[in-house]
Amino acid sequence: MLNQRIKIKALLQQASIGTHVTVMGWVRTFRNNQFIALNDGSTNYNLQVVVALGMLPEATLKRITTGASLKVQGTIAESLGKGQSIELLATAIDILGDSDPEKYPLQPKKHSLEFLREIAHLRFRTNTFGAVFRIRHSLAFAVHQFFNERGFLYLHTPIITASDAEGAGEMFRVTTLPFDGTPRNEDGTVNFKEDFFGKSTNLTVSGQLEGELGAMAFSEIYTFGPTFRAENSNTTRHLAEFWMIEPEMAFYDLEDNMNLAEAFIQYLIRYVMAHNSDDLQLLDRRLAEEEKQKPANERSELGLLDKLNFVVNNQFERITYTEAIQILLESPAYKKKKFKYEVSWGIDMQSEHERYLVEKHFKKPVIVTGYPAAIKAFYMRMNDVCEPGKETVAAMDILAPGIGEIVGGSQREERLDVLQKRMEAMHIPVEEMSWYIDTRRFGTVPHAGFGLGFERMVQFVTGMTNIRDVIPFARTPKNCSF
Ligand code: 4AD
Ligand code: MG
């Protein structure tokens, strides 16, 4: 049996001096033919393994190189060296796998994030990415814990669907039809009856619509799964494949929805602060270094840990879309023509506008409600009309410093007639969506929900500026490696 080892995290936390243990991991560095820094991914700390002089033949010593994998048996001793309190005095070392130092791309030095992105299959072995992905794991775990504690049911919504939940047409097609000799109807259009599902299908952009069906029986559900968007956005905040958490709650109005979303985000941050403090400290130092490279006026005022502390200890700002536009119009940035995109009631706010609101004006997360109906999805609840031409919906977006939109949600239109009219007006195929409309026919209730972009949340907590660095293998336009 191989698995009688102790993980390095457990060893550093609890092993007592004099005990004999087995550890396994990968070599980070090997100094003076004597000191091995060994890492097994359980923590960002390395275990110092001490090789007694003369213990190993020269040929074996040569094979202890950065990236090589080892099985080490030895005795735990107090460390005399700086930087660690205990170390492992090796009694036996087996090399499990060699790593040619001429070819191994990860050297014990600082590599750029861009370079590491090209070797994403190896970047887990660096301090930065070790920390990022341990935190990503913790966040995923905390998502389930948060909802489980509150009696929400985890509903698995389908990945392949025949509908466009957001009505934005940014879908990846799923088909088994051949490119050559595609079956056609008489009018020349593709005959999807011949396709695998007998209709046109795509990868889901959101689990919300099916989530609503669940909420109409279980009261409170959430989904947490991959979603896909074929939007050609090459930004630091967009992925073609990303993970989304979508709770959907019966008997909730917009305010209940905002309260839940705010509590959820704060809970996730608190969880990571309590369970990943070593990793957070490492990323806090990394970000401070990165900030130092920027011109003074572009640096953020708070470090990573300060920012997270601030967010869990302060309420989010809540404003209406109309107020947001007013603030932008009165801003020095607008007056000095600093915005690239226009500002007026009715615009879909651009990231420069969102960032102004959260980073310059409020300096904290902001929940914006009451967006113009014309720029939001068909399922959002219509507000009472206050001014013709200025119809709004009970939408809410949460904007976070450094990220922009992190949550999108709304109270849903539960009134059958209003929903049907809006779907028709927005050219949503009412017939095909009759399963969705049925929820409004049979026991409709006020309900609400939201979607949290998981990678944007990981970005927020880790301080990583590029979304490609918080998902193991990013899918973006013209890029699908690994
Ligand atoms: O605002 P969105 O499009 O809302 C929905 O999909 C709703 N169905 C959610 C709901 O009410 N159940 O997306 C929700 C969130 C965004 O706020 C953002 O955080 C994230 O998903 N998101 C993306 N993250 C990474 N890459 C992309 N291309 C994203 N598009 C949206
Ligand atoms: Mg949105």
Shared-domain flag, residues 162 and 308: yes
d(CA 408, CA 354): 13
Shared-domain flag, residues 55 and 101: yes
Taking the centre of ligand 1 as the mean of its atom positions, its distance from the CA of residue 482, in whole angstroms, is 24
Domain-located, residue 36 = yes
pLDDT at 127: 96
- CATH number for the domain including 77? 2.40.50.140
Domain-located, residue 179 = no
Shared-domain flag, residues 13 and 137: no
Taking the centre of ligand 2 as the mean of its atom positions, its distance from the CA of residue 397, in whole angstroms, is 7
Take atom 21 of ligand 1 and give the residue whose Cα is closest: 453
Domain-located, residue 264 = yes
**Does the beta carbon of 247 sit less than 6 angstroms from any atom of ligand 1?**
no
Taking the centre of ligand 1 as the mean of its atom positions, its distance from the CA of residue 141, in whole angstroms, is 20
Best mutation site among 244, 246, 380, 468 for ligand 1 pocket (most ligand atoms within 8 Å of CB): 244
pLDDT at 386: 75
DSSP type of residue 305: H
Structure confidence by residue, pLDDT tens digits, 118-148: 999 999 999 999 999 999 999 999 999 999 9
Shared-domain flag, residues 165 and 51: no
Taking the centre of ligand 2 as the mean of its atom positions, its distance from the CA of residue 317, in whole angstroms, is 18
**Does the beta carbon of 206 sit less than 6 angstroms from any atom of ligand 1?**
yes
- Mean pLDDT across 452-466: 98
**Dihedral, CA atoms, 136, 354, 465, 376, nearest 10 degrees?**
50
Range with lowest mean pLDDT among 62-66, 383-387, 392-396: 383-387
d(CA 133, CA 462): 10
d(CA 420, CA 379): 10
Distances (CA, A) of 25 to 8, 29, 136, 212, 326: 9, 12, 21, 46, 57
Shared-domain flag, residues 81 and 228: no
Domain-located, residue 395 = yes
Taking the centre of ligand 2 as the mean of its atom positions, its distance from the CA of residue 258, in whole angstroms, is 15
* CB-count exposure of residue 136 (10 Å: 0-12, 13-18, 19+): buried
Domain-located, residue 200 = no
Residue 103 identity: K
DSSP type of residue 412: B
d(CA 196, CA 216): 30
Q: Are 171 and 228 in contact (CB under 8 A)?
A: yes
Structure confidence by residue, pLDDT tens digits, 295-326: 988 888 899 999 999 999 999 999 999 999 99
Last residue of a domain, one of 107, 135, 156: 107
Count how many domains the chain has: 2
Shared-domain flag, residues 160 and 95: no
For residue 3, name the pLDDT band (cuts at 50, 70, 90).
Answer: confident
Q: What is the domain extent for residue 140? A: 125-170+205-469
Relative to the alpha carbon of 348, which ligand is closest? 2
For residue 388, name the pLDDT band (cuts at 50, 70, 90).
Answer: confident
Token duo for residue 46: 């390395």
pLDDT at 464: 97
pLDDT at 480: 96
Shared-domain flag, residues 103 and 217: no
Considering the chain, what percentage of its residues have pLDDT values greater than 90? Answer: 90
Take atom 29 of ligand 1 and give the residue whose Cα is closest: 238
Average pLDDT, the chain: 95
Which residues face 245 on adjacent strands?
224, 452
Nearest to 366 by CA among 379, 343, 349, 389: 349
Q: What is the pTM of this model?
A: 0.96
pLDDT at 80: 83
Shared-domain flag, residues 432 and 374: yes
Considering the chain, what percentage of its residues have pLDDT values greater than 70? Answer: 100
- Mean pLDDT across 249-265: 98
Shared-domain flag, residues 344 and 428: yes
Structure confidence by residue, pLDDT tens digits, 19-59: 999 999 999 999 999 999 999 999 999 999 999 999 999 99
Domain-located, residue 17 = yes
Domain-located, residue 298 = yes
Residue 83 has pLDDT above 80, yes or no: no
Last residue of a domain, one of 107, 136, 162: 107
**Does the beta carbon of 404 sit less than 6 angstroms from any atom of ligand 1?**
no
**Does the beta carbon of 239 sit less than 6 angstroms from any atom of ligand 1?**
yes
**Does the beta carbon of 450 sit less than 6 angstroms from any atom of ligand 1?**
yes
- CATH number for the domain including 309? 3.30.930.10
**Dihedral, CA atoms, 127, 128, 133, 135, nearest 10 degrees?**
100
Atom of ligand 1 lying closest to residue 238 CA:
26
Shared-domain flag, residues 102 and 133: no
pLDDT at 371: 98
Residue 1 has pLDDT above 80, yes or no: no
- Measured at the CA of 474, the angle between CA 107 and CA 399, to 5 degrees, comes to 110
Structure confidence by residue, pLDDT tens digits, 144-202: 999 999 999 999 999 999 988 888 879 999 999 999 999 999 999 999 999 999 999 99
Q: CB count, 10 Å around CB of 378? A: 19
Residue 362 has pLDDT above 90, yes or no: yes
Shared-domain flag, residues 301 and 334: yes
Q: Are 273 and 267 in contact (CB under 8 A)?
A: no
Structure confidence by residue, pLDDT tens digits, 42-51: 999 999 999 9
Atom of ligand 1 lying closest to residue 231 CA:
28
**Does the beta carbon of 246 sit less than 6 angstroms from any atom of ligand 1?**
yes
Shared-domain flag, residues 149 and 47: no
**Does the beta carbon of 409 sit less than 6 angstroms from any atom of ligand 1?**
yes
H helix runs in 86-178, sequence order: 113-118, 127-149
Domain-located, residue 119 = no
Take atom 2 of ligand 1 and give the residue whose Cα is closest: 408
Side-chain half-sphere of 174: how many Cα atoms within 13 Å?
A: 17
Last residue of a domain, one of 56, 77, 107: 107
pLDDT at 296: 85
